[in-house]
Structure 1
Amino acid sequence: MNSDAEAAYEALIQFLYRAPVALIQLQQEGAIEMMNPMASQLLMPLAPHGDLTNLFSVLGPYADDLQRLCAGFAASHGVICEGRRFNIPAPQPRAGAPTVLSLGLLKVDDGRLMAVLADVTQEVAREQRQLASRLASAARVDGLTQLPNRAGALALLQRIGQRPRHAADDAGALLFINLDRFRHINDSYGNEAGDQMMVLVAERLRSTLRASGRSPGDDTVGEVAARVGGDEFVVLLDRLAAPAVAERIAARLLDRLSKPYQLGGHELACSFSMGIVLVDAGMGDADADDLLRDAAIAMTVAKSDGGDRYVVFHQAMRDQAIQRGGLAADLRNAVERGELFTVYQPVVGLQADGQIDRAAGVEALVRWRHPLRGLVGPVEFIGVAEECGLISAIGEQVLAVACADFVGWQRQLGARAPRLLAVNLSRAQLAQPGLCDRVSAILAATGMSAERLQLEITETLAAQGKDIQQQLLGLKALGIKLALDDFGTGYSSLSSLHLLPVDTVKIDRSFVSAADTSRHHEVLIEATVKVARSLGMSTVAEGIETVAQAAVVCRQGCDKGQGYLYSRPLESAALLAWLTAPEPVRTP
């Protein structure tokens, strides 16, 4: 060994010897192969009879799931856990012994692990003292995550909002964070798993935020996370050098929070939406409730833009939220006054010779003719209807009108009438008891044949719990067909398609729109068609707007198509004219 190598080796040995944390190399089953002096110092008081041969045995009384956690980590290498804290119960064997340890486990390869163990007793004590000084009582602490709760967050936020600010480099901010599609975790894995997820998010926030670094007598907040709702968190920031710093912190948090989570043997990739409200010298005494409301509004905008992003609040958002509240009141009146009406978009049969079958079916869609605003699109009011509990009433109204119209077309057009009526089914409708009875009553009242009706649900709904599955099976027992809408955008996959009680798969427009320019999207369409066909399901390509797109979905064997290439949604009279038009649309 040359002198440079000897020096490097000696430096490494000195590092291991003097490192203030425990460094341990162990086998997959926990057998310790090597450790530094700090590891012996921390582990010896915990080891029965001084036996340090197996780390899992030593730490078993304090963290009995470590071996199971390591065995269930399927990746060839990577972080198994980080910052895992556990308490060492009193009484202590000696004064100054650690009471809280923090463990990190890293899988090096299929046979070896590395563990990092640190005494965080003083750090935890310091955190607890800081938390105690910020919160008036235990009533301001969230019992699940041990973060400040809504009341605690409001108290801290009030301090941020009212503290005098006299310079541009003295800003504060509030970040409102919401987990995208949290309902899916609860529905798929249970409420207990949802609670565990909240704990993991809280730990991730706590470990990502920096300490405040306050000087004695400084009454600023620093960087603090709080849980203010079921899956809602806030981060409070103070003493920022510039408002733009809040956006950099937000980007850092989103990146950190979006890393996969280990939950009950599953690896979950999650995204988050975040709203930011800035507090600067120009705001005067800002009210905490107002700041929290504005941050939540900005978060909602981020979520409506697709999630996995942050949005900075501005006044126009509040105005839009107020307008949205007015829209909800108007919508209640609209249902009573009959301002909502139904339009129908044709669903055509795709034939090998390029011809289309105009009578294949129609999809019923709701529109709103507002007395002052004019025509209001579904994008503007469906979300409002869901929020204010009107979506079920609207859904049943659309179903009743559409069934009556469909029966009328049958009488008027005979063989040229549509053979199938598709109507969307909302989450709220599926969650209500008695849905099958109400649908059956509508069929009886209108004279509609159950086998001519197709109810459409999203992937997320189709994959939910037993109650939803029972509702779907009850609808199928009536003879109604079920379709999986917007396939490719939710949580299902081709491998689980056979588990869903559906007859038709509707391929989302995002795949169809790129099919003529992206081989990848064309292959996905091809695979979906083949799997659906093997399961006895039919397919519909949504959002066809060009001849080139139509050619691709025809070539890949889609049974039906829907989109502006064939027709926009039409009112009943215009639909009848379209159905009886002499020249059919041809797909090359």
Structure 2
Amino acid sequence: MSEGDLAYEALIQFLYRAPVALIQLQKDGAIEILNPMASRLLMPLAPDGDMENFFHVLRRHAPDLPQLCADFSDQQGVVCEGRRISVEATHGHAEGPNVLSLGLLKLDDNRLMAVLLDATHEVVREQRMLASAAQLDTLTQLPNRAGTLTLLRKMATRERAASGDHCAVLLLNLDRFKQVNDTLGNAVGNQVIALVAERLRTTLRAGGRPGSGLAVETATRVGGDEFAVLLDGLPAPEVVERIAGRLLQRLGRPYRVGEQDLSLTFSLGLVVLKTGVQDADDLLRDAAIAMAVAKSQGGNRMVAFEQEMREQALLRSSLEADLRLAIERAELFNVYQPVVGLLADGRMDPGAGVEALVRWRHPIRGLVGPVDFIGIAESTGMINAIGSQVLATACRDFVAWQRALGDRAPRLLAVNLSRAQLTQPGLCDQVAAILAASGMPAAQLQLEITESLAAQGADIQQQLLDLKQLGVKLALDDFGTGYSSLSSLHLLPVDTVKIDRSFVSLAASSAHHKVLIEATVLVARSLGMTTVAEGIETVEQANVAHAQGCDKGQGYLYSRPLESAVLLEWLNQRQEVLNPA
């Protein structure tokens, strides 16, 4: 056999045994040569077994091939490579590839070479990899929310042993994590999240399998600063709280980030699975409800889910929706509680000032108190709109009282600022605009902030200084319950200190609280600040506040919060300076 014959024979053997489909065709698609693999891949797609024309065989699955080849102007080269063609079983052939990978090469002006691969298994493998990646959190390499639900569904639907085979889900959320991002930046925040994830890995026990007597403890990142822990195969339900306590203790240790140690606390909600199949989304939701309760109680604690919590959460959700409508429909309104002057001769001055408070007249529920909706407003961001509305209304009312009553009108208007308002970038411009629109004198407006909020960082301090530049007064509300002390009072840019009702209520019977009030008054007076005793309800409490030198008093002894028209009547009835005793 000649050398040429040997080469041709080797080519034929290669074509016959090649694990890929090789087809030589003319430019119009007519097939000249194809190997056995090409026949096997194309036969299920060929109508009536007709495989004379390659384009005709693939016309249903790749109808653009003829035009693609016609548009390829080079004399030779790759027309397409690795093109995926999705196919389905046709013409009575139940078996065949689901996906083909096509390569098309132009040999010369008249001939093409096609290469086909069965890419079905490759696509399945890619889909599995993508599915795995879609359920993995990139920052922590823990399962993400989708992965959490997948694992939770498996745990919630598997058959469990009659005893000693219990399951639970824990949901953890970092307390005040927003402050970490706001003060240290998102990059540090991400480092903290990664460190928490690593500590979860090292704290949890990875061994065991359901039903083996050894619990499976799996950590996941649900999203943001929320993590879940799935506990499967527990010997007893009470073990859950022991594990939760261990987690809070370990996670609460300081985290080293750069050159500083950060102390973090966590709120934890837990749900112990009942017998029978349970919905994974419901379980995660119930754990979130319990976690929110833990956070509302101050954080750094665990709370087990109870059924009534879901009802309360539904009520809260309903209130949130109604509150959004209430802002639009002007269902919120102001009431005003008088602040009286405590005069040296023991009498009171009814025109010292008023404090504006917000109420909600719900069309179905009736009057809703602030304790039921202010927390919702703060957590959802609606507090900014509400606060602006309260301030604007109060300023308009104050100006109207001055026109109506003259010298008998209140001389000072106090309005509370929330944390969200005080961190709002445009707050000073907003206050200035409201003052200008209402004609309210800035010197007669007093904005009140809580003691704990006033003791926050430099940004809050600068906001307070900017507000004072407008000419308004600042008051420190609920003094005695926050983080500051008498020794640091001089650091706060405030004009008035309001002594918390918890001190006032005990002052008549407790020498300790009486001394605390006296000390507060002395320090405030030395700093040029005035004092207000809050929550005065009895004559005895009023006498103590007066005896300790408080400048003003506020409480139900003098008046409950009143609507504007009723307040005018109250002021008119007290044209004379009265003695509260």
Please confirm whether the aligned pair reaches a TM-score higher than 0.5, indicating the same fold: yes
Q: Which of the residues 146, 155, 160 maps onto 1:160?
A: 155
Equivalent residue, structure 1, for 2:23:
none
2:326 matches 1:331 = no
How far 1:386 moved relative to its partner?
Answer: 2.9
Q: Which residue of 1 aligns with 2:145?
A: 150
Judging changes above 3 Å, is the alpha-carbon distance between structure 1 residues 215 and 178 closer, same or farther for their aligned structure 2 residues?
A: closer
| Residue identity in the other structure for 1:572 | S
Aligned partner letter, 1:451:
A
Equivalent residue number for residue 238 of structure 1: 232
- Conservation of the 8 A alpha-carbon contact between 2:254 and 2:261: yes
CA pair 188-515 structure 1, distance change in 2 beyond 3 A: farther
SS at match of 1:580: helix
1:476 alignment partner, SS class? helix
In the alignment, what sits opposite 1:442? 434
Percent of aligned positions that are identical: 70
Post-superposition offset of 1:300: 1.2
TM score, norm. by length of structure 1: 0.67
**Superposed displacement of residue 215, structure 1:** 5.6
Whole-angstrom distance in 1 between the partners of 2:259 and 2:160: 49
What does residue 118 of structure 2 align with?
A: none
Indicate the SS of the match to 1:228: strand
- 2:572 paired with 1:572: no
Higher Cα radius of gyration: 2
User: 2:279 is matched with which residue?
Assistant: 287
Letter in 2 for 1:161: A
**Shift of residue 408, structure 1, vs aligned partner:** 1.6
2:381 is equivalent to residue 386 of structure 1:
no
Give the match's secondary structure for 2:168: strand
Please give the secondary structure, in 1, of the residue aligned with 2:573.
coil
- Which residue matches 1:360? 352
Q: Deviation per CA, 1:138-157, whole angstroms, max 9, x where unpaired?
A: 66555655654434433332
Deviations 1:17-62 (A, max 9, x none): xxxxxxxxxxxxxxxxxxxxxxxxxxxxxxxxxxxxxxxxxxxxxx
- Residue from 296, 299, 311 that aligns with 2:303: 311
Shift, 1:182, TM fit: 3.3
Contact 1:221 1:236 in 2 (8 A): no
The separation in 2 between residues aligned to 1:513 and 1:250, in whole angstroms, is: 39
Change (3 A) 1:189 1:348: farther
1:181 match: 176
Number of aligned residues: 451
> Per-residue deviation at 1:452?
0.4
Q: What's 1:58 paired with?
A: none
RMSD across aligned C-alpha pairs, in angstroms? 3.4
Could you tell me how far apart the structure 1 residues matched to 2:398 and 2:291 are? 42
Q: Distance in 2 between matches of 1:392 and 1:422?
A: 17
* Alignment correspondent of 2:218: 224
Structure 2 counterparts to residues 403-482 of structure 1, below 5 A: 403-482=395-474
Which structure 1 residue ranges, 5 or more long, are not aligned? 1-134
Asked if residue 250 in structure 1 is aligned to residue 244 in structure 2, the reply is yes
Q: Distance in 1 between matches of 2:442 and 2:146?
A: 53
C-alpha change, 1:243 and 1:217, in structure 2 (3 Å) is closer
Is residue 207–residue 214 contact of structure 2 (8 Å, CA) maintained in 1?
A: no
Map 1:21-420; keep pairs closer than 5 Å.
137=132, 142=137, 147-167=142-162, 169-187=164-182, 191=186, 194-195=189-190, 197-198=192-193, 201-202=196-197, 205-206=200-201, 208-209=203-204, 211-214=205-208, 222-255=216-249, 257=251, 271-281=265-275, 284-420=276-412
Deviates more, 1:570-579 or 1:247-256: 247-256
Residues 213, 235 of structure 2: 8 Å contact kept: no
Alpha-carbon shift at residue 479 of structure 1 (Å): 0.8
Question: Residues of 2 paired with 1:429 and 1:544: CA distance?
Answer: 28
Q: Is the 8 A contact 2:160 2:211 kept in 1?
A: no
Change (3 A) 1:262 1:501: farther
State the distance in 2 between where 1:258 and 1:330 align: 38
Change in 2 beyond 3 A, CA 1:366/1:415: same
**1:322 alignment partner, SS class:** helix
**Cα distance, 1:384 vs structure 2:** 2.4
Q: Alpha-carbon deviation of 1:194?
A: 4.6
Superposition deviation, residue 176 in structure 1: 1.8
- Aligned partner of 1:486 in structure 2 is 478
Q: In the aligned structure 2, how far is the partner of 1:352 from the partner of 1:161? A: 71
Deviation at 1:409, TM superposition (A): 1.5
SS in 2 for 1:448: coil
